[in-house]
Amino acid sequence: MQIITYPHPTLRHVSQPIRRVDADLKKLVREMFDLMYAAKGIGLAANQVDLPVRLFIMNLTSKPDGEEQVFINPVVSSPKGSDEAEEGCLSLPGLYGQVIRPKTVRVNAYNLSGQEIQRELSGLEARCLQHELDHLDGVLFPDRMSVGNRANVIEELQEFEADFVSRRGTGGIPSDSILTAQRAEWERKYC
């Protein structure tokens, strides 16, 4: 398992709801936390590791001794306020930009034990949750940037795109048809 980078097609795939949690999925979640900590991130969506399921993890401390949170099939509602802050992404390493998001949101989801989560979040926790939920819908943070702010990162996005083409050309990234088949296999197993 590895963190995939823009413009990998799975990052634009709308993830499917999870209907089954088993020992394999729990092991994958543990691996996701390990990857996230190694990359010094605070959130990681399943499709960032090429898994097309509606699940993401968060730990605002970016360290194993912090609060590890798992959100399965999350739904966000009741957005309140507005806040602009800088965001980055493990799938766009080194790229940062200003994004406006609601200051407070309500989330309904499930954890790995099948318990329902109903919480109101604010601040960094709300921002991280919205960022990760966007991933599950195939949306990346530059998509949320203003036209002016996005113009400031176009060259960096083009560098990611050129690197992707190069890695695909040397066989480092499978073809779209292979990726589609892999996503379908995961969806059959968990969705």
Q: Give the pLDDT of residue 139.
A: 96
Look at residue 2 and tell me if it is in a domain: no
Look at residue 55 and tell me if it is in a domain: yes
Decide if pLDDT at 119 tops 90. Answer: yes
Look at residue 130 and tell me if it is in a domain: yes
pLDDT in tens, 13-39: 999 999 988 998 899 999 999 999 999
The parent domain of residue 144 ranges over 9-190
pLDDT band at 74 (very low <50, low <70, confident <90, very high): very high
Give me the mean pLDDT over the 120-131 stretch: 95
Q: Give the pLDDT of residue 186.
A: 86
Q: What's the first-to-final CA gap in the chain, in angstroms?
A: 20
Give me the mean pLDDT over the 150-172 stretch: 91
pLDDT band at 11 (very low <50, low <70, confident <90, very high): very high
Closest-CA residue to 150 (of 91, 90, 99, 88): 99
The CATH number covering residue 96 comes to 3.90.45.10
Does the active-site annotation cover 67? no
Look at residue 133 and tell me if it is in a domain: yes
pLDDT in tens, 41-51: 999 999 999 99
Look at residue 4 and tell me if it is in a domain: no
Q: What is the overall mean pLDDT for the chain?
A: 93
Look at residue 3 and tell me if it is in a domain: no
Catalytic residue among 31, 132, 159, 187: 132
Q: How many domains does the chain have?
A: 1
Look at residue 148 and tell me if it is in a domain: yes
Look at residue 63 and tell me if it is in a domain: yes
Determine whether 39 is exposed, middle or buried from the number of CB atoms within 10 Å of its CB (0-12, 13-18, 19+): middle
pLDDT band at 173 (very low <50, low <70, confident <90, very high): confident
